[in-house]
Structures are given as structure tokens and as C-alpha cells.
Structure 1
Amino acid sequence: MRDRLDEALRAGQVDGLHAVVAARGGQTLLEYYGVGEDFAWINALGVVEFGPGTLHDIRSVTKSVTALLYGIALHDGLVPTPAEPLLPRFPQYPDLVADPRRARLTVEHALTMSLGLEWREDLPYDSPANAEIAMELAPDRYRYILERPIVEPPGVRWAYCGGATALLGHLITDGTGQSLPEYAQATLFEPLGISRYEWMAGPDGVASAASGLRLAPRDLLRLGELVLREGMWRGQRLVPADWIRTMLLPRLQTEWGARYGYHWYVDSVAGHELVAGMGNGGQRLYVLPGLDLVVAVTAGNYDHPEQWRTPLALLEQVILPEIR
């Protein structure tokens, strides 16, 4: 497998690759660390020599981690069920709560990114015209999200929206009385043995539920192994199994072909079922249940229109041909 990776590197098929760790049945199949220019959000880190302990933006794979945290909090009765109305959880905005068109919004619409609100993230993430960046810069991020113009009924269409994840993050922090990093540390990271991480925050000090998490690749892999085992980790249940199954149930079609559950993508590759967390630049957490396989990828192709090529090439050309 390493020979195939070296060949792909020489051929330029995995440009921008920073690291990859793949494991099957809990045994490491492949582990590689490269060198490349990197960023923490828009802050340049220069050329980094990556290693097992190097933290890396996982960008929007953070959304999938937030979905895991939501399931834990739901099991403990600390957050509303998916079917519950969303706006009553934001009583600080009585004008929005009283809007009958917005009263149709439920928690599930946030979980499936089908709020039906105007939201554009198809612009570079260093531009204030990008809705997620505008949200981070807004005086009140939650009002910014919830007062976006209504463009269609909720639940009709998947539309990529970091604001939806921010709403879920608020429900978690409001229900648990802890910040997102604090709750993740207690319920996920510490039990998984993840001791080093960063969770970046906006100017308001609120940790970004949509894109703020920085992890080492081995620790990202552990989160994938947790999903593969339906919430079990070394004999301890961390996430309810029924939430994992519910979370990964495909509900809507994305604009590029994959299906979408609760903040996880559901697809297939080379005839194998695939669930994935995906982030800008080529960050990927692939889980292939039928092969007992988990792959964590970090890369530096931020905002590149073909950033998907490197992680997919790793999976299709390097890893899967060696799996029997």
C-alpha cells in the first residue's frame, strides 16, 4: 500500500496531501505524513513538517463531530428531539419566533441542512461575502442565521449551511451548560484518549461548531472508528447506537450526488457503502462499514475547485486495491 502511495505522490495524483492514516479491524494499514504549507482557518502557518502529533484543521468534518455530540446530549435529555420546533429554543428573538413562516422550522431541518433560508458558502472562506464568514463576523451569529431570507419551504432541499451547525452547537451549549469544547472533552475526547486538540472560536468567543476543530490524524481516525463500532469504544458506550444509525440514514440528495443524513454524507465507492465527514481543502473521515475500514485524510488544497481529487484518489487508487 505504501508503494502505491509513493507512486501516486510521484504521479501528482495526491497533490496537497498532508497526512493519511488508514485502519482496518483496529489495525493500522497505512500511515503517512508529508510537508506542505498550512493554515489555521485563514492564519498562515507557513510550511509545516507534519507528524503523528501535529494538529490540523479538519474544517467541516467538525460538523460531523457536532452531530455526534448532539446525539449524546439527546440521549441525556439535554437537547430537543429532531422533530421539535427550532425557533422556540431562541426566545431572545421574539420577532422571529412570531413569524409563522419560520415556525415551520424544526431541529431536523438544521440536522439535514434543509432550513430553506438564503445561505451562500460557494465563495472563498476569506471573503466576508461567504455566509459562514459573515456569520462569524456578525454581532449576533444566531440572529444572523435565523433572519436570513426564506427562499423555499424547509425540508425540501439540501443546501450547504454552516449556520445550521451553529444552531445545533447553541442547542448543545444551552442544554448542557458547557461550551462545545468542554462538552466534547468530557463525553468524547477524554474517553477516546484524545488529549490534544484545538477548537477555534469567532470574534464573539463562541467555538465554531461548523469548522473550528483541529485534531491530529490518528485522533480523527478514532472518531471514525467510534462511528464504525456504532458508538462503542473499548467496551464503553459513548454514543447511543440508535443515534449512530439515525444519523447515518440518508434523507436528502446533495447537489453533487451523495446523500445526506444528520451532518454525515452517505455514498458508495467501488461498490462499497461509505459514510463520510468532509471538510474544505481535502479533509476527510471515511468510514466503510462493510470493509471494517476507516481512513483519515488531511490536506492543504483549501478553496481549490478540485480539492476532492486527492482524498478520493487515496481511497480508490491507494487503499481499496489492497483490501481483499
Structure 2
Amino acid sequence: MASESYSQTNDLLPADAIANPLHKANIGKVTFMDGNIPLDQYQASDFLKSYLLAYRSDLNIRVFMANSVVNYLHQLAPGLSAEQLLEKGNLQFAFYIDNQFIYKENINPGCTFGSGGSKKSSTTFRVPLTSTKGEDWWAMYLWDRFKGYGGENALTEGTHLLKIELRPYLKLEENTEPLVGNLIAEGQVQLVIKTPKVTAKEIAIQKIMPESGWELSNLPFNKKKIQALNAEIAQHNLKEITSIVVIREGKLMLEEYFNGANRNTLHDTRSAGKSFASTLMGLAVKDGYIKDENQTLNSFYDLKAFANYDPKKDEIKIKDLLTMSSAFEGSDANSESPGNEENMYPSENWVKFTLDLPIEKSKTNGGQWDYFTAGVVLLGDMLNQKVPDGMEKYADEKLFKPMGIDNYQWQYTPQKVANTAGSLQMTSLEYAKYAQLYKNNGEWKGAQILPAEWVQKTLTKQIQIPGRDQQFYGYLFWNKTVNIDGKAYETFYCAGNGGNEFIIFKDLPLTIIITSKAYNKPYAHAQADRIVKDFILPSVLKP
């Protein structure tokens, strides 16, 4: 039996009594089930021996333990309280395919086991590994990471044995190896993998329908590369892609839709919408409503009226917010940061939330890049204050109408201001107009919409992104270089959760729009990179 005896140490807290006969008979087992079968309805006949793992499926596990998580952790560090144990430890999941180790992960101490489940007392829990029910669980991201770190490659066509092992772990010090306890539960199931059959229609390059609003490109391109791309999307090797649009020499070369999307779909491209705050700031500077990007925060707000006043706040420039380099103690990459966006969204006033933040002593304004959504909300509020009739109307009159963009939808802050944090939804062809505006140096159909000087500042390597080799940030635009066949092709791009990217090539007459719904997936942007590097660029460069 997987569960080991810990008789040498008494329990810290009373665990739930094991009264369910199925639980009694299966202590120490990880069982597999199709969907969420409630414990009081779950039977041994529901245990999966074999499962067809389709692209959309509902593979769940139910774990039967001999004790609670906190009591297992107590065996590793008897001197710690329950709260200390649960802050420093949880369960370790180990995955094997065909008895070969693939991946293990110590799940975050904050991971819980659903409604009614308590790590202090529960001895059984259920989590979904895959789901078609709209569930959003840490276990599903764990499953994605297992697949990304070898599981996908191991699960080839055919039948494979999946085994999962659970152990308790404790990480007592930040830079030390965690303590890992004995095996407390394990289980296995045969997974049947079938490659989806792809039809000729799915592979075929989609015909561009009339009334696109674009002149069509007649330049040659490698159609086999695009057909191969479509096959990868149809087989779900590239997941949740909803559209790909390619503009070449200012003309529409490719317009394709997938997974239920079409030309009229409004795509939620999440943080790709942040870049519009930069555009509107450039327009407001041109029109004289904003002096320039060196204007400081104290010219918009009485900063002493907010919490945690610091003279450094007075010195924060619009440019520091545009380049994600202000001294605010705010980092979306750090879940413990007080300015993390997840702390902002539940607050009643996002602007007050941001201005109340303390200054991070180790930061200097303009000195260090740190992704900070709340700062972009401030930019939106500044614009909303200064432009006539508010930012939403200004955007419509000064940017969208002149470009013929009329099918879009804002989200709003709690104060009903258009949300510059992201999720400005548009059609793919209208996103293409926006990206092409920058490719055209701010010009659209003979009219200079956005000053060329602002475009050049925006598409400049303003600041290095830490931890990313040769990647930089402009004015709310990202920068990276694509290397192919020994040649480097520099890009600036808008990027949003899910793998959404609007890509502008610096030295190629090429603009690419990729929309995707792979939200929070570890592969989201990697697969966007692959679409560009393995398919679209070779198609254009080697027609």
C-alpha cells in the first residue's frame, strides 16, 4: 500500500474520520474518473482502467489518503504550527509514463482542494487534470506543465500507462532543497492517444472573402508552409488559435480563422490592449493636452493626499509608466507584491489603489523594468482627465474613426473609465490596421494619424527586460529578434495573455496578427513564436 505509517509522531490536528467504505478500501490510492463524480456517488466501478485522452476531455483524479495534508507535513517538521506548515509546504506530484519518470512538481502552498476540502482535516480530495466544464484549477496548469516538460512527447499515438505519485514536501528555507516525505498515494491508468484526423478543408488555405477593407496581396508565398500550419492547428499541436492575419507590403496576404472564430469575432487579446494607452498618449501630446512624456505624476495628482507619500512619487514620469520602470512597489510577476494586478482588480478604485502604493526603496524611476499593470491604469486616468469629453470619446474621434475602426468593445474600470489595462476587443482585421499604423510610421491612407516622432520613440529599445536575452521594451510595446537561417529579424509587438501578439517587423514589409485563447497556458507565447518562425516567415522568405 502506498500510504506509509508515521506512528512515531502524533497527529497535530484531528483528521476527518474515514467512514466511507470506498475510502476505507482504497487508502493510499490515486483513482481516475471521467468527470466530477461526487464522493457519495463514487463507486469502484467508476475507477478508470483506460481512458481516451481527447483534446477536450474530463480526466479527474480522486485521492484517498490515510491522513490530512497538515499531519503529513507535521511528520517532516514536528516543531512547526499548522499555519507555518501550510505556508511552507503542500503535496509533491510526480508523473510517470510507461514507468519512466517525466516530471515532478511541489505544488504551491496556496493550492487548495476545492469547496469543502481542508488541508487541515480532509483525507480525500478531487481535482480535474483536464476539463470541458470551464473549471480553472491549479491542477490543470500542473497537467499542462507536465505535458510541456516531456509528457506531450511521451504520449505518442497508441496506449500509454500514466502513473501519479503523491508525497508531502516542506521548503523550510528559500535557498535550500525541500524536505520530501514518504509516498502517501499513487495510482495509474492506461491513456489511449489518437491523433485527430485532419480533413483537406482544415488544411487548405482559407480564401479571403470580399469586403475585407484591404487591398489583396498577389505576392507569391510558400503555400505548403501555411497548409502545414493549418494542419498543426487542426491537430491541436498549436492550441486555441483563433485567427492569423498577415499584412505584406501593406496588403492582405493571409486571413484565417480557427476554433469557431470568424471575421466578425471580437477577440479578447488581454494585455495587448495596453499598447493603445501609448498610442493615445502620443495623440494627446500632439494635440497639446499632455505636455510630453516627461510630465511628472504630481502635475496630475495631489500625491500627499494618498497613502505612503514619498518624494519619489512626485518624480515619476509618464515615460516611466510607458516603459514599466516606475519606482512603485508593484510587480505583476511577484504574487507577493502589494501592487500586483490581482490585488488591484478587487479594489473599488484602481487609481487610488495605485497611488496609495508605497515606493520600492531598491528602485529608481526609469531604472528597472518590472511589469506593472496598475501603472497603465494611471496612464488611462491621466488621459481621461486631460482630453476633452474623456478618453473613450477621444480615442474614437482621433484614432478609430480616422482608420475606419468601428467594431470594437472596451472594458471599464470601477469608475467607468475605458480600461487601459487591456482587453480592448476588436476584430483581427482591425487589430491589423492598428499594427500597420506603426509599420507605416503613423500614417494611414495618406493621413498622418500619429506623429512619426512618437512612433519612433515607441518602437525604440527604451529599457532591457531582465532575464530575457536581447529583449527590450519600448512605450508599452515589446521588442525581440527572430533568428532564422542565420539571419536576425527584429520585431516590436503588442502581447497579451493567451498568446495574443500583433507583430511589426522592423526591416521586413510584414505585420502579423495572432489571436489565441490559450489563457494562462505556459505554451501560449511559445506557440505564437513557433507560428512566426516555423511557418509564416519561411513561407514569405522562401516562396
Using the size of structure 2 for normalisation, the TM-score is 0.54
CA distance in 1: counterparts of 2:239 and 2:505, whole angstroms:
24
The residue that corresponds to 1:287 in the other structure is: 504
User: Residue 4 of structure 1: CA displacement?
Assistant: 2.6
The residue that corresponds to 2:230 in the other structure is: 6
Is structure 2 residue 355 aligned with structure 1 residue 146? Answer: yes
Q: Unpaired segments of 5 or more residues in structure 2?
A: 1-222
CA distance in 2: counterparts of 1:229 and 1:311, whole angstroms:
23
CA distance in 2: counterparts of 1:8 and 1:181, whole angstroms:
39
The residue that corresponds to 2:516 in the other structure is: 299
Equivalent runs, 1:196-215 vs 2, <5 Å = 196-215=407-426
Does the Cα contact within 8 Å between 1:114 and 1:155 map onto a contact in 2? yes
More helix by share: 1
CA distance in 1: counterparts of 2:268 and 2:536, whole angstroms:
23
Partner amino acid, structure 1, of 2:493: A
Aligned to 2:455, the other structure's residue is in SS state: helix
The structure, 1 or 2, with the larger RCO (C-alpha pairs under 8 Å, 6+ apart) is 1
The 1:263/1:73 distance shift into structure 2, 3 A limit, reads: same
CA distance in 1: counterparts of 2:231 and 2:535, whole angstroms:
9
Is structure 2 residue 186 aligned with structure 1 residue 186? Answer: no
Partner amino acid, structure 1, of 2:228: R
Partner amino acid, structure 2, of 1:322: S
Does the Cα contact within 8 Å between 2:339 and 2:374 map onto a contact in 1? no
Is structure 2 residue 285 aligned with structure 1 residue 52? Answer: no
Q: Unpaired segments of 5 or more residues in structure 1?
A: 36-48
Aligned to 2:293, the other structure's residue is in SS state: coil
The 1:302/1:227 distance shift into structure 2, 3 A limit, reads: same
The residue that corresponds to 2:445 in the other structure is: 234
Does the Cα contact within 8 Å between 1:61 and 1:284 map onto a contact in 2? yes
1:211-235 CA distance string (max 9 Å, x none): 1300101100111110000110000
User: Residue 242 of structure 1: CA displacement?
Assistant: 0.4
1:34-78 CA distance string (max 9 Å, x none): 11xxxxxxxxxxxxx210011011211111111111101101110
Partner amino acid, structure 1, of 2:345: E
The residue that corresponds to 1:269 in the other structure is: 482
1:247-302 CA distance string (max 9 Å, x none): 11112111334201111112211211101000011111000131110111110111
Equivalent runs, 1:102-117 vs 2, <5 Å = 102-117=313-328
User: Residue 202 of structure 1: CA displacement?
Assistant: 2.8
Aligned to 2:345, the other structure's residue is in SS state: helix
Is structure 2 residue 344 aligned with structure 1 residue 135? Answer: yes
CA distance in 2: counterparts of 1:101 and 1:196, whole angstroms:
41
User: Residue 150 of structure 1: CA displacement?
Assistant: 1.6
The 10-residue stretch of structure 1 (85-94 or 259-268) with the greater mean CA deviation from structure 2: 85-94
**Runs of 4+ off more than 6 Å:** none
Using the size of structure 1 for normalisation, the TM-score is 0.89
Aligned to 1:320, the other structure's residue is in SS state: helix
The residue that corresponds to 2:166 in the other structure is: none
Q: 1:260 aligns with which of 473, 487, 509?
A: 473
- Percent identity over paired residues: 26
Max radius of gyration: which structure? 2
Does the Cα contact within 8 Å between 2:306 and 2:355 map onto a contact in 1? no
Aligned to 1:28, the other structure's residue is in SS state: strand
The 10-residue stretch of structure 1 (156-165 or 76-85) with the greater mean CA deviation from structure 2: 76-85
Does the Cα contact within 8 Å between 2:472 and 2:480 map onto a contact in 1? yes
Partner amino acid, structure 1, of 2:262: G
The 1:76/1:228 distance shift into structure 2, 3 A limit, reads: same
User: Residue 205 of structure 1: CA displacement?
Assistant: 1.6
Q: 1:20 aligns with which of 238, 241, 244?
A: 244
CA distance in 1: counterparts of 2:308 and 2:441, whole angstroms:
36
CA distance in 2: counterparts of 1:117 and 1:54, whole angstroms:
37
User: Residue 10 of structure 1: CA displacement?
Assistant: 5.0
User: Residue 11 of structure 1: CA displacement?
Assistant: 5.7
Give the aligned length.
Answer: 309
CA distance in 1: counterparts of 2:380 and 2:334, whole angstroms:
23
Does the Cα contact within 8 Å between 2:431 and 2:513 map onto a contact in 1? yes
User: Residue 123 of structure 1: CA displacement?
Assistant: 7.3
CA distance in 1: counterparts of 2:406 and 2:350, whole angstroms:
29
Partner amino acid, structure 1, of 2:400: F
Q: 1:218 aligns with which of 416, 429, 436?
A: 429
User: Residue 180 of structure 1: CA displacement?
Assistant: 2.8
CA distance in 1: counterparts of 2:535 and 2:426, whole angstroms:
23
Equivalent runs, 1:16-165 vs 2, <5 Å = 16-35=240-259, 49-91=260-302, 93-95=304-306, 99-122=310-333, 131-151=340-360, 152-165=363-376
Is structure 2 residue 380 aligned with structure 1 residue 169? Answer: yes
Aligned to 2:524, the other structure's residue is in SS state: coil
User: Residue 131 of structure 1: CA displacement?
Assistant: 2.6
The residue that corresponds to 1:323 in the other structure is: 540
CA distance in 2: counterparts of 1:9 and 1:207, whole angstroms:
34
Partner amino acid, structure 1, of 2:387: T
Does the Cα contact within 8 Å between 1:91 and 1:97 map onto a contact in 2? no
CA distance in 1: counterparts of 2:315 and 2:492, whole angstroms:
29
